[in-house]
Structure 1
């Protein structure tokens, strides 16, 4: 009985390893993207209705669409394995290439998205008149398309990124992905601001938590904060509002804040195509809205100013006492949190 030389056995083993590993990697990538898309859909489904009034809302929808498009492309390439479309030959190598390009694109989007969202909230808060719904939708659509095209063009045209893609193409397995530093800096910044704000208004937060009442207002269940006299409120408006914003924000996003602390503490390396997701963007969105409220404390008037709508955090309870100080007598509390 003849046996192959040791070198041939090693070569055969290596070839088999090379043949089966891409399938395992593609299957794992498919599951990761499928899980991310399900999470995106669930998050978009859980938001409050009629909140598509700002840039961040439309961008979250566009991100969910790009994730779905990437999953479809990966599924088609994995199924056909080797095919030609419009004169371009697609193989399983393009699964890794496309995901790398998307990772770079997502990784460079954090700062631009946050900057545009800040400008959007500032303009919506300061200008007295608003565009019609159709004009506003068209403006956001064009802005998002321009943003995606600009960042994608930068990724494909940047010498550093092109060099990285060529270098990584030498590695068939495992397929390396870009780890964004923008998200880390953004997370550290938000956690730092939350920590400073919590330390600054710790006593007020404890007092509020002990005195919060759950009541109904206009057929909606809200938190009711005890209201001080008008003169006392105006003298300490920013400090009092800060404590209310902290209670509302942490009451909604505390699990996500804890997750960010764990990720940053353990220095978990998350690929950019996973890290940029809809729940993360809504978390940042709530933080930005709270920041806008605090900086514009002197303008908060529910009659003359249209406040930004948050899909998850009900900020209304922070401002209702400004116009209805006797709400506690008008509405019967459902329960009292002690």
Structure 2
């Protein structure tokens, strides 16, 4: 049990390396898939940094494991299998700490894009700024783990020649974010399906314009919800299963590019529904953040467009 009451699990080092290797392959596949536009958004730049860090750590862990008898040295420090367990726990805590900051920064980035803030800045300057923010987030996360948190590693009291398993913490932040997502999706579904019936009242002349705008906004939310669900329905079922079943997610797997792509699509849909004017969406003039999975195209009837 962790000092904060967070549950831990016991994984073999072979299993950890296999999971990390699979995670790296998935990360690189998704980065390559989005290579044409991945550096245009904060979440894309952060995904690249995460992929590089995961790959470097996997290589380091593999080298240490293959030389687990103590013949591996780094800067004069003798590295053993103990260090694999220690580093896996540390990086898992860092990934857990980064969940909410990444969500917030991605949402702010999409808000600036759709509301067309910072228009005067060049794309290169924006990329440099987003890269700088990514570096700062990584730095602050490590700083928090080492100096401010009450994180305590859990290691077996055996010789490094006899250690074959590591204690791994569960990550709960991803489940918390998933719960907030389901609440948001449920609220959107309620707004599109139930609100017209509950709040229906006779139209007056001075309410026609407001009603028309409300109908247009409801159409935007309905279409955005449909676009998102058509793409990510299977992933949502998987998240729902994780929320219902008593299973834990290893902390070193909690932050990955697939999860970031899912977050990206969800936050794009939220920002488009909240920020972007209906008229721009109807005319296809909205500045939509890059998304390799969802095609954010909205359709409006001519009658609704004219009344709006």
Which of 202, 221, 229 aligns to 1:242? It is 221
1:154 counterpart residue number: 144
Alignment of 1:183-222 (within 5 A): 183-202=174-193
Cα pair distance change 1:245/1:25, threshold 3 Å: same
Write the deviation string for residues 209-254 of structure 1: whole angstroms up to 9, x where unpaired: xxxxxxxxxxxxxxxxxxxxx9986341111111101110001000
Task: State the distance in 1 between where 2:237 and 2:226 align.
Answer: 15
Task: State the distance in 1 between where 2:37 and 2:74 align.
Answer: 41
Task: State the distance in 1 between where 2:34 and 2:149 align.
Answer: 40
Cα pair distance change 1:254/1:92, threshold 3 Å: same
SS in 2 for 1:306: coil
Task: State the distance in 2 between where 1:256 and 1:124 align.
Answer: 26
Write the deviation string for residues 180-223 of structure 1: whole angstroms up to 9, x where unpaired: 2221110001012112322432489xxxxxxxxxxxxxxxxxxx
Alignment of 1:48-63 (within 5 A): 49-63=36-50
1:95 aligns with 2:84: yes
Contact 1:293–1:300 at 8 Å: present in 2 too? no
Higher mean displacement: 194-203 or 138-147: 194-203
2:15 counterpart residue number: 28
TM-score by length of 1: 0.73
Cα pair distance change 1:304/1:267, threshold 3 Å: same
Deviation at 1:69, TM superposition (A): 1.0
Alignment of 1:123-202 (within 5 A): 123-126=112-115, 127=117, 129-158=119-148, 160-161=150-151, 164-165=152-153, 167-168=154-155, 170=157, 174-202=165-193
Contact 1:108–1:151 at 8 Å: present in 2 too? yes
SS in 2 for 1:89: strand
Q: What is the aligned length?
A: 274
Task: State the distance in 2 between where 1:278 and 1:271 align.
Answer: 15
Contact 1:48–1:311 at 8 Å: present in 2 too? no
Cα pair distance change 1:36/1:159, threshold 3 Å: closer
Deviation at 1:320, TM superposition (A): 7.7
Contact 2:41–2:109 at 8 Å: present in 1 too? yes
1:288 aligns with 2:279: no
Cα pair distance change 1:293/1:48, threshold 3 Å: farther
Deviation at 1:305, TM superposition (A): 4.5
Which of 293, 299, 305 aligns to 1:312? It is 293
Gaps of 5+ in 2: 1-9, 196-208
TM-score by length of 2: 0.80
Deviation at 1:35, TM superposition (A): 0.9
Deviation at 1:309, TM superposition (A): 2.0
Task: State the distance in 1 between where 2:100 and 2:210 align.
Answer: 40
Higher RCO, 1 vs 2 (CA within 8 Å, ≥6 residues apart): 2
Cα RMSD over matched residues? 2.9
Gaps of 5+ in 1: 1-21, 205-229, 326-338
